[in-house]
Amino acid sequence: MLKAQKQKPAVAVVKYNAGNIRSVLFALERLNVEACVTDDPDILRNADRIIFPGVGEARSAMEYLKQKKLDVLIKSLTQPVLGICLGMQLLCAHSEENDAVCLGIFDGNVKLFDTQAGAKVPQIGWNDIYDLKTPVFKGIDEHSFVYFVHSYYAELSEQTIATANYIKPYSAALHKGNFYGMQFHPEKSGGVGEILLRNFIFGQE
């Protein structure tokens, strides 16, 4: 168990009708971090850190974000933002999942794994990540294993800060400005995921 921090950043988890939020909250509890789940614009703007998680379908998720005007809000955020799984994919430009136009913060597109390649789709389980970049991966060894559940992947780009290989190499994590994305689930990735969340929330000491 990590030691409690004297200063606890205010962490807000974006509420947008996506699944898997509870496991993120449990992971934050293990870090002794309190978080609120909200779609309130004022709370989101004033939080120190934003987590944008989710499991679901890209097009319907984007429609919900637009209905709540969260699409405009998320793009305007200036504090560190972490998209997880579907949350990361929605930060990209476009998803092949029902031809969804996404938020366009990351330049790359999201594509369906080639189901003819002989591997099972979705990818479910542990896979290693490599070519790790940026301080969010401080304390994480190359080829550490993290937990994935996904049928769609973000293409490699200049914004790729971690790579995984399943059927083909793809972006396991992305970074641009104050926005980070992780295709895998740090909240389900044991000690490695705990370090990653701690790095994102508290920064490097």
Active site annotation includes 143: no
Is 58 in contact with 100 (CB distance < 8 Å)?
yes
Which of 85, 102, 150, 175 is catalytic? The answer is 85
> What pairing do the DSSP bridges indicate for beta strands 144-150 and 168-176?
unpaired
Q: For this structure, is 155 an active site residue?
A: no
At 60 the three-state DSSP class reads: helix
Selecting among 92, 97, 150, 187, the annotated active-site residue is 187
Is residue 205 part of the annotated active site? The answer reads no
Q: Which residue has the tokens 């003819």?
A: 116
Name the active-site residue from 36, 185, 194, 205: 185
Cα-based distances in Å from 80 to 101, 148, 157, 173, 180 = 23, 23, 20, 15, 8
Q: What angle, rounded to 10 degrees, do the helices at 190-202 and 21-30 form?
A: 80
Mind telling me the catalytic residues? 85, 185, 187
